[in-house]
Amino acid sequence: MRILVHDHSGHPFQAQLSRELSRRGHDVTHSYVSGYVCGKGQLEAGPGENLTFEGIGGDEPVDNMRLFRRLWREITRGFDLVAEVRRIRPEITLVSNVQIPTLVIFTLAMLVMRRPWVLWHQDVYAVAVRSFSGTKLPKRFAVVAALFEVAEKWCSRRAAAIVVIASSFVPVHEKWGTAHKVTVIPNWAPLDEIVPTDRANSWSAEHDLSETRTLLYSGTLGLKHNPALLVQLAREVADRGTDVRLVVVNEGPAGEILEREAERLDVPLTLLPYQPYERLPEVLGAGDVLVVLLDREAGEFSVPSKTLSYLCAGRPVLGLMPPENLASELVTRADGRALPPERSSVGDAAAWACGVLADPGEAARVGQRSRELAEAEFALSACVDRFEDILGCRSAARRLQPQPERRRQPETVAS
């Protein structure tokens, strides 16, 4: 079956889905937005892999705070995605992490072209914008949120099927009248690509981190996060008598906040850009404690995928995130610590981190538990089976299989 998988962000596990679909005999093209700056997965075909990776939308990064320029770019990306569909002519298209203006253009074109597509809902953007209006975004963004909800609902109603990453998304689709075509498939992480490594490795040596205890954060820092909490956490750990360095792998405006806060609180900080994906195991391996952030307002519409990568890396995980979020449950089951994302929680978070940093045996036990949980939860085969069913791949394969010849019954003649 000819399939187009488009993931705006270029994240690792979406690429892994495309690889597994290809291994199962499907003709897969995996596309992503080249100019979107984030930690990307392995977006090149390896030896013997029969699939295509394509970057679309141009390589120039866009300043997200320049709203009209961003809107124009996202509309343009919609036309780029439609052009790709017209060129590849897939039997089914799966779209993930697509911005609302892009999704509207795409949906309109699929409606005109009468082509089926599936929405892989990673974030409910309408809920996200509404949650931040009046706090991290101006109050006028409440109008944007209302428009986004109309657009997102309209697109969802025209999708052939919808995959959501957590059951907390289902009430939104019940409200929109689309719950009947929703399937919940939690995200996973690529176990065979993100593996535990030695604490002292070549990457940690390159950045003078092999002999330094570290709190490490790797990934996006945007509206859903409060980067100042990272610095405050490191300060609390130091105040409890444990020397520690804060290591943050990120690109974007959060870097200025981190540097300013680190200078104010006298916290040692190593701030690095996104690293090549093939080095991610070493990057995560260099962290004695891996930290996840998620604001309370984001708890109902987002699940931080970095948590899944952290678990694969086999390191102790500390989360400052809403307790009802799926990622909090995973961290707790891995014997990590998950606390509400507020300044008042930082003391308890620091106490837990100090205990792990002071006890190598406990750190090793929690790290092993993280990996064991990842191996139990992130079995790829079952997830891909479900995606094949949703995309119609397995039913199409059954239709193409030769059917056993029916033996003709002798005719009876009425006497």
pLDDT in tens, 233-286: 999 999 999 999 999 999 888 889 999 999 999 999 999 999 999 999 999 999
- Do 173 and 54 lie in one domain? The reply is yes
Residues 392 and 354 in one domain: no
Region 19-47: mean pLDDT is 90
HEC states along the chain?
A: CEEEEEECCCCHHHHHHHHHHHHCCCEEEEEEECCCCCCCCCCCCCCCCCEEEEEECCCCCCCCCCHHHHHHHHHHHHHHHHHHHHHHCCCEEEEECCCHHHHHHHHHHHHHHCCCEEEEECCCHHHHHHHHECCCECCCHHHHHHHHHHHHHHHHHHCCEEEECCHHHHHHHHHHCCHHHEEECCCCCCCCCCCCCCCCCHHHHHCCCCCCCEEEEECCCCCCCCCHHHHHHHHHHHHCCCCCEEEEECCCCHHHHHHHHHHHHCCCEEEECCCCHHHHHHHHHCCCEEEEECCHHHCCCCCCCHHHHHHHHCCCEEEECCCCCHHHHHHHHCCCEEECCCHHHHHHHHHHHHHHHHCHHHHHHHHHHHHHHHHHHCCHHHHHHHHHHHHCHHHHHHHHCCCCCCCCCCCCCCC
**315 contact partners, CB below 8 Å, separation of at least 6:** 196, 284, 285, 287, 288, 289, 290, 367, 370
Same domain (yes/no): 210, 289 = yes
Q: According to the model, what pLDDT value does residue 175 have?
A: 92
Quick check: is 194 in a domain?
no
The pLDDT of residue 412: 39
Same domain, 285 and 364: yes
Compute the distance between CA of residue 298 and CA of residue 326 in angstroms, rounded to an integer. Answer: 12
Residues 226 and 255 occupy one common structural domain: yes
pTM of the model: 0.83
Dump pLDDT digits (tens) for 85-132. 999 999 999 999 999 999 999 999 999 999 999 999 988 766 665 555
Does any domain span residue 415? Answer: no
Same domain assignment for residues 38 and 105: yes
Instruction: Spell 43-58 as b/e; 16+ CB within 10 A means b.
Output: bebeeeeebebeebbe
73, two tokens:
């770019």
Residues counted in the chain: 415
Pick the last residue of a domain from 341, 359, 375: 375
Tokens of 53: 């990776």
For residue 284, being part of any structural domain is answered with: yes
Joined together, the tokens standing for residue 210 give 């092999």
Report how far residue 120's alpha carbon sits from residue 96's, in angstroms, rounded to the nearest whole number: 5
Q: What is the pLDDT of residue 140?
A: 63
Same domain, 68 and 174: yes
Mean pLDDT of 297-324: 84
Is-contact 222 251, C-beta < 8 A? Answer: no
The most confident of the ranges 1-10, 46-55, 220-229, 248-257 is: 1-10
Q: Is residue 124 part of a domain?
A: yes
pLDDT tens by residue, 369-380: 999 999 988 888
User: Is 57 a member of any domain?
Assistant: yes
With respect to residue 408, please indicate whether it lies within any of the assigned structural domains. no
The pLDDT of residue 66: 60
Task: Give the domain range for residue 388.
Answer: 2-189+379-400
Check if the beta carbon of residue 173 is closer than 8 Å to that of residue 195: no
Same-domain pairing of 73 and 168:
yes
> What integer pLDDT is reported at residue 400 of this predicted model?
37
Are 31 and 92 members of one domain?
Answer: yes
122 and 100 within one domain: yes
Looking at the structure, tell me whether residues 111 and 71 fall in a common domain: yes
Please tell me the total count of domains within the chain: 2
> Within this chain, do residues 259 and 128 fall inside the same structural domain, yes or no?
no
Taking only the tens place, the pLDDT of each residue in 54-80 is 999 876 655 555 667 778 888 999 999
More confident residue, 144 or 72: 72
Q: Which CATH number belongs to the domain containing residue 231 in this structure?
A: 3.40.50.2000
Which residue, 138, 93, 135, 144, is CA-closest to 393? 93
Compute the CA torsion angle 387, 76, 69, 11 (nearest 10 deg).
30
User: Is the residue at 298 inside a domain?
Assistant: yes
Whole-angstrom distance, CA of residue 95 vs CA of residue 105: 13
Q: What is the pLDDT of residue 396?
A: 47
The answer to which of 135-139, 197-201, 262-266 has the lowest mean pLDDT is: 135-139
Domain contains 68: yes
Q: Does residue 297 contact residue 317 with C-beta atoms inside 8 Å?
A: no
- Which of 263, 375, 357 shows the shortest CA–CA distance to 311? 375
Per residue in 320-345, pLDDT tens?
998 888 889 999 999 999 999 999 99
What is the mean predicted confidence (pLDDT) over 362-368? 97
The proportion of the chain whose per-residue pLDDT surpasses 70, expressed as a percent, equals 85
